[in-house]
Structure 1
Amino acid sequence: MKRSIAMFVSFFVCAVLLAGCWSKKELTDLSVVIAVGLDKTKDGRYLVSFQVVNPGNVAGALQRGGGAGGVPISVYTSTGDTLVEASRKASKKLSRILYYAHTNLVVISEELARQGLNGVFDAIERNQEFRTTTKLVIAHGHSAKEVLSVLTPIDKIPANQIIKTLEFSEMALGQTISTDVWEVIRDFTSSGKNIVLTGVVIEGNTQRGKRQTNVQSSVPDARISLDGLALFKKDRLVRWVNGSTERGVLWGLDRIKQTNITIPWKGKKEAIGYRAMGVTTRLKVELKNGHPSILVHIQTEGDISETYVPINLADYRLLFQLEKAIGRDIEREVRQAIETAQHEKTDVFGFGEAVHRAHPRLWKRIKKEWDDRYFPHLPVTVKVDASIRRTGLRNTPYIK
């Protein structure tokens, strides 16, 4: 009898504990938000844009080989004094619940970034649906709403187009950086490093880019592309950098996976191409009379990718000279980036974090004045060791 009662109680408890349908959400009741755009209105309120997937049109576009069945996404906007208020007000415009579990991109307008992002990430981090792996970019010269409204021809979801471009560009070009929410929050809470984000621009006609014809042409009226790095001081955007300075920042951050350098040779500019791979950047802190200094040591190896001058690549003495020339070119880019950051008084390289790890007592004394007093005058030495591993299938070029 006691055994029967015990079994009955066990089954009853299990039945209560395993009832897991109390928080269910039907797919037909959800609006899957794939990207969020953040702007500021003229009266200082948040303008939040939601890029929502149209599931039927995405599936139809894949089957029909284009966007003939309708646009794959819709963009809704809402305003509010806070991000949460704007999200709640969006329920007046959608017949479904906003669902953030698949949000993988946040686009922030340049205007908002210059005013400060202090109140942005609190709401994002607290939302249990929002992923901390969500990527972040800055809309350069356009509003975040405009960026999210442009339709893309290859990847039907524009947010996916931006994310893949970020990842592959960082891998192949070495002038962009893929940054997620977790990295930004970590750097915000660190007193020895400021954040760097990649910018996105719209090339072409912004208004025509919103129309379905933009994905039905071999030459779209508008394209989304990456442009520049945004340097922040604390939570505010202070400077855009491009070109060699842009890459110099990534050399210092140890975020170069692969890039191509063209160096001059025998009086000819852009004479020899070098594809850098296997890059490692290390920071070393040294104390001189109680003051910190930094050694940036970069090691890279790679291949000769192209030549436009007559040179015998089988001669090891010439290869040694080329390695020195490549090292000097990389050193120039890094120094230019460091000087730019010191001029803006923003430590985007994490030199302060390196000082903190090496000399915690010293850091405790100087951290409050690091950005404005110590970092702008910090002595930095750059050392580059470049190696040429392969010269390709031909040692002597065709050019005579």
Structure 2
Amino acid sequence: MLTKNTFIVLLLLASVLLTGCWDQWELRDLSVVTGLAIDKGENDEFILTMQVINPSEIAAQEEGSGFTAAQNYETRASSIQEGFRKLTQQAPRRGYFSHIAALIISEEVASEGLSNFLDHFYRDHEIRSDFFLLIARGESASDILSLLPPIEELTSVNLKHSLLYSENSYTAVKGVTLDDLFEDLAARGIDPVMEGVSTSGDVATGKSIENRESVKPSAYLYVGHSGFFKADRFVGWLDEDEVKGYNYVMSENQDTPETLSCPDDGTFVLETQSIEPNISVHSGNSPKINIDIKIHSTLSEMNCEGIDVEKKESKQLMEGIMNDKVEALVNIAIQKSKEERVDIFGLGREVYRQKPRLWEELKSEWYTHLAEIPVHVNVNTEVVGSGDVNNTFNVRDYIDDD
């Protein structure tokens, strides 16, 4: 028979198993926010646009109710937290921000500094730091978030998936999460780069359900070009070649194609399988920086006359052309970095890591020194395969000209 004390102990232990979450909320009481857009308002206010899931439409997708899968709510506030709380004035539920997929920032807001609004995103325990940040290129962030994409139900999720897939298949795109941004802002000797987003086509129609119902949508979201910063302030844009050069050094993209010119006429394509960049700092009498890039690639397309893929000389020829192309792209991006006095490659960070004493000498005027320090780029490409065939089948070889 249990004693009184034993019974009390068992009762206390059982009560531990019965406890619940102190801040528990039912799903029906929450407005799940998947996307955010921040534009500049008047009198130092932010214009916040929040994309909230329509749960009834998500649950009834197969029935085709005709309603959109999300609604956008816009509010004006002096701080991010205030704007989030103001959401309850329009949406009948508490805002829930753990499922943000994308945050879009206008050029004007980014130019005034990211620190003006990012602090809340770092502090709030409900907000995860794995969402992507983008800059609205040439239009408001709200317009971007309001466009209805033709495939994905949610604009923010469409942007997230575009970045996830394209950054691993094309060197002109690189997604940046809140974690990535925080790492660059907190580090010595590196300035952030953030992907841009714009709309293409008839934006007015793109905001209606008609855009999703048409075989040929009137408007698309376009992820491309990258914005570069000095510290936390947006400075300008990199074009596609400059972004490619940047990503060959700063990214390890795989399965990305590079179209190259044949010696005489035509083109061939090498598909990159791996990129291994290495930055080394040499001090000596005058500092210099070497950037070595090792690339493994396969031949994915050949339209050159007179090149026998099975020959060693042809392989070396293709590798040399690829080396020259990548070196040119990287040098273009380095030159842009020097001209704009920004350190997007993190060369200062490498000086700090590898030569800390040299960094102490240079850090106070680092951007001036950056423009003067020689940077040598060396690319070593190895073609490791040619797909399922070697030489291309050419029907003209079997036609009798007579």
Equivalent of 1:361, from 354, 357, 361? 357
What is the alpha-carbon root mean square deviation over aligned residues? 1.9
Q: CA separation in 2, counterparts of 1:36 and 1:299?
A: 39
Give the C-alpha shift of residue 352 in structure 1: 1.3
How far has the Cα of 1:366 moved from its partner? 2.5
Alignment of structure 1 residues 57-68 onto 2, 5 Å? 57-61=57-61, 63-64=62-63, 68=65
CA drift of 1:72 comes to: 0.4
**TM-score, normalised to structure 1's length?**
0.93
Alignment match, 2:321: 325
Does the 8 Å CA contact 1:307/1:397 hold for their aligned counterparts? no
- Residue 334 (1) aligns with residue 325 (2): no
Deviation string, structure 1 residues 270-325 (Cα, Å, up to 9, x no partner): 52221121111111111121x43211110111122222221222221122122111
1:279 maps to: 275
Name which of structure 1's ranges 204-213 and 358-367 shifts more when overlaid on structure 2. Answer: 358-367
Q: Deviation of residue 13 (structure 1)?
A: 6.2
Instruction: Answer yes or no: is 1:381 the counterpart of 2:376.
Output: yes
Shifted more, 79-88 versus 335-344: the winner is 79-88
Displacement of 1:379:
1.3
Whether the 8 Å CA contact 1:263–1:329 is kept in 2: the answer is yes
> Does structure 1 retain, via aligned residues, the 8 Å contact 2:283–2:358?
no
Q: Displacement, 1:350?
A: 1.3
In structure 1, the residue matched to 2:301 is 306
2:284 is equivalent to residue 288 of structure 1: yes
CA distance in 1, matches of 2:244, 2:19: 55
Query: Relative to 1, partners in 2 of residues 1:14 and 1:378: Cα closer, same or farther, differing over 3 Å?
Result: farther
Identity over aligned pairs, percent:
28
- Structure-1 separation of matches of 2:4 and 2:39: 65
After the TM superposition, which segments of 4 or more aligned residues of structure 1 sit over 4 Å from their partners? none
- 1:190-205 to 2 correspondence within 5 Å? 190-205=187-202
Secondary structure of the 2:115 match is coil
Q: Hey, what does 2:400 align to over in structure 1?
A: none
Provide the C-alpha distance between the structure 1 equivalents of 2:299 and 2:9, rounded to a whole number of angstroms: 75
Letter aligned with residue 362 of structure 2: I
1:6-21 aligned at under 5 Å gives the runs: 6-9=6-9, 11-12=11-12, 15=15, 18-21=18-21
CA deviation after TM superposition for structure 1 residue 171, in Å: 1.1
The aligned amino acid for 1:382 is V
State how many pairs are aligned.
394
Other structure's SS at 1:288 match: coil
CA displacement at 1:240 relative to structure 2: 0.7
1:184 lines up with 2:173 in the alignment: no
Q: 1:152 and 1:341 mapped to 2: Cα distance? A: 34
Q: Match of 2:299, as an amino acid?
A: I
Output the TM-score relative to the length of structure 2: 0.93
Gaps of 5+ in 2: 398-402
Q: Is the counterpart of residue 22 in structure 1 residue 4 in structure 2?
A: no
Task: Provide the secondary structure at the position in 2 that maps to 1:24.
Answer: coil
Name the aligned partner's letter for residue 284 of structure 2.
K
- Give per-residue Cα distances to partners, 1:87-112, cap 9 Å, x unaligned: 22222111100000111211111121
Partner of residue 220, structure 2: 223
2:92 to 87, 90, 95: 95
8 A Cα contact 1:121 1:185, kept in partner? no
Unaligned runs of 5+ in 1: none
Aligned partners of 1:132, 1:364: CA distance in 2, in Å? 32
Letter paired with 2:372: H
Question: How big is each residue's C-alpha offset from its partner over 1:36-55, in whole Å with a ceiling of 9 and x where there is no partner?
Answer: 11111143310111000001
Which residue in 1 is equivalent to 2:5?
5
User: Any conservation in 2 of the 1:312–1:396 contact (CA below 8 Å)?
Assistant: no
CA contact (8 A) 2:152 2:158 kept: yes
Q: Distance in 2 between matches of 1:124 and 1:135?
A: 12
For residue 381 of structure 2, give the secondary structure of its aligned residue in structure 1. strand
Q: What is the alpha-carbon distance in structure 2 between the residues aligned to residue 17 and residue 275 of structure 1? A: 56
Evaluate the alpha carbon distance shift between residue 139 and residue 341 of structure 1 in structure 2; reply closer, same or farther with a 3 A threshold.
Answer: same
Match of 1:351 in 2: 347
Indicate if the aligned counterparts of 1:309 and 1:397 stay in contact, CA closer than 8 A. no
* C-alpha distance in 2 between matches for 1:76 and 1:384: 49
Q: Provide, for residues 317-350 of structure 1, a one-character-per-residue CA deviation record: whole Å limited to 9, x for no partner.
A: 1221221111011100000001101111111111
Is this contact kept in 2: 1:174–1:258, CA < 8 A? no
